[in-house]
Amino acid sequence: MKLVSTRNFSKAVSFKNAVLDCIPDDGGLYVPASEENLRPWILYMDESSSFSSIAGTLTSALLKDEFSPVVSERIAGKAFAGFSPELRQLGEKLFSLELFHGPTGCHKDFGLLWLASALDHILTMEDRTAVVMAATSAMTGKSMATAFSGKSRLKMILVYARGTATGIEPSLLATNGGNIFPVEVDGSLSDAQALVREIYGRRDLVEKYGLTLANTMNIGRLLPQVFFYMYAFTRLRKKVQGDIFYAVPSGNFGNLVAGLYAWKFSLPVNGFITDATPALSCDVSGRCLCADSHIPLPDRGAADPASPSNIERLEQVFSVNPLMLTGLVFPSAVPRGNIPGIVRSVWKETGVVIDSAAAAAYGALDAMRDRAFSDEGSVVIVSKDHPAFEAERLREYCGASVPIPETILSLGVPIQGVKKIPLDRAALERMLAEID
């Protein structure tokens, strides 16, 4: 697979290069340079295929020019040993694709596990090392630390706001022989993001320390999210006779873009329903609209390495034929005040407690219900994070208690011995020099 920037289709790079040096110098985002026909592999797999096996097969199919089948299987096998999404049937034509069955209950687990495994294999093959730095909060920090722990050629600096460094197992920390370096800056999360943004804005530092990213600006974080939809199809193919729609929470559009890549890679899918945002909504005629699509890419700011959005990737998917956007992506406004009622309604109808993001996607389905469920059609709600992260709020919404796994209970435990530094880029630079 070759990758190009959303802002320069003429210069293609390898997947290895795009993952290790994940920030295009033109300010764009790396995207697949061409469509891939994965239909033979998709139709070969069925409900007996494990998620790990599906991921290994598709890794090999997509990256066959860079990884042997054995290496592809090893990357996926090490990433997903014992972990898999789950497809739950909520009604005759309604399903939930649960992405919170990874090690920490965060949907990011799966993308991070695969990226960490792929990076570890690439760095070993090239006899290199790399550093990941990220401004983070407790849930994402725990997910990142868990995925990247034990990778001998990778080091991770997690930058927290003042007083918020919690949830990481002591055995993962560099002070105990691990490869995770947590640090608190004397400021807010926005301040921490600003410092990280400055570091990645320095090309000399990126090259000197082998800096890469673990958020969805890195195509290696986004690509494995394609596997979710392939996995769901293997479980649906014998149950569903008509159209398949996915209701996807908007978030930073990572899961939506991954679903569109799955479609481009020949996955049978009839549309994606999502909750509208200022960046992605509908025009006066009800057609899907990207708010900034009228602004030429060179006139926009560079993609944000500290807190990226995938809206530019979504625009690129439909750049050849904009009309396809209106026929495949269906945003619908869902007022935040409706979320409690949606959670309560789903609980009463199905006995399942969904999180707020899944509730927003479910709410967006209302505008498409007649079309999505017509002619034997079915809908899959993408449920991202474990409801236990919102246990108190969801109990207020529907009166049901959510069991809280131990990994989430421990999320509030302060990290012992966390390093504290001033709100100063030079302090982060010194950390890079110290761990080099």
CATH number at residue 212: 3.40.50.1100
Bridge-based pairing of strands 419-421 and 180-185 is parallel
Look at residue 313 and tell me if it is in a domain. Answer: no
Task: Give just the sign of the alpha carbon dihedral 94, 97, 101, 106.
Answer: negative
Number of domains in the chain: 1
Terminal-residue alpha carbon distance, the chain:
31
The reported pLDDT for the residue numbered 261 is 94
Question: 415-436 in b/e burial notation, b at 16+ Cβ within 10 A?
Answer: beebbebeeebebbbebbeeee
Nearest-angstrom CA–CA distance, 16 and 206? 16
> Scanning the structure block, which residue is given the tokens 């006995």?
351
And the tokens for 143? 């997910």
In this structure, the chain runs to a length of 436
Nearest-angstrom CA–CA distance, 138 and 69? 36
Collect all residues with Cβ–Cβ distance below 8 Å to 186 and sequence separation of at least 6. Answer: 162, 420, 421, 422, 423
Look at residue 138 and tell me if it is in a domain. Answer: yes
User: Whole-model pTM?
Assistant: 0.95
Nearest Cα residue to 65 out of 127, 107, 135, 12: 12
How far, rounded to the nearest angstrom, does the alpha carbon of residue 82 sit from its chain's CA centroid? 19
Q: What is the dihedral of CA 358, 227, 156, 16, to 10 degrees?
A: -140
Give, in order, the Cα–Cα distances in Å from 302 to each of 29, 197, 200, 308: 9, 11, 12, 10
Look at residue 177 and tell me if it is in a domain. Answer: yes
Asked whether 121 and 20 are in contact (CB, 8 A), the reply is no
Bridge-based pairing of strands 180-185 and 271-275 is unpaired
Q: What backbone torsions phi and psi does residue 319 show, to the nearest 5 degrees?
A: -65, -30
Nearest-angstrom CA–CA distance, 141 and 147? 10
The reported pLDDT for the residue numbered 223 is 96
The reported pLDDT for the residue numbered 36 is 87
Nearest Cα residue to 18 out of 51, 55, 62: 62
Look at residue 197 and tell me if it is in a domain. Answer: yes
Nearest Cα residue to 414 out of 171, 169, 190: 169
Apex 136 CA angle, 59 and 410, nearest 5: 90
The reported pLDDT for the residue numbered 241 is 84
Q: Which amino acid is at 145?
A: A
Nearest Cα residue to 91 out of 394, 369, 337, 340: 369
Average pLDDT per run of 10 along the chain, which is 436 residues long? 93 95 94 90 90 96 95 96 95 95 97 97 96 96 97 96 96 96 97 96 95 97 96 91 92 94 92 93 81 82 92 84 76 95 95 96 90 84 96 94 93 93 94 90
Provide the domain limits for residue 130: 108-219+413-435
Apex 79 CA angle, 74 and 82, nearest 5: 105
Q: Which amino acid is at 358?
A: A
Look at residue 384 and tell me if it is in a domain. Answer: no
Bridge-based pairing of strands 211-212 and 244-248 is unpaired
Q: What is residue 190's three-state secondary structure?
A: helix
Nearest-angstrom CA–CA distance, 212 and 195? 15
Residue ranges in 300-402 assigned as alpha helix (H): 311-317, 323-328, 339-350, 356-365, 369-372, 391-398
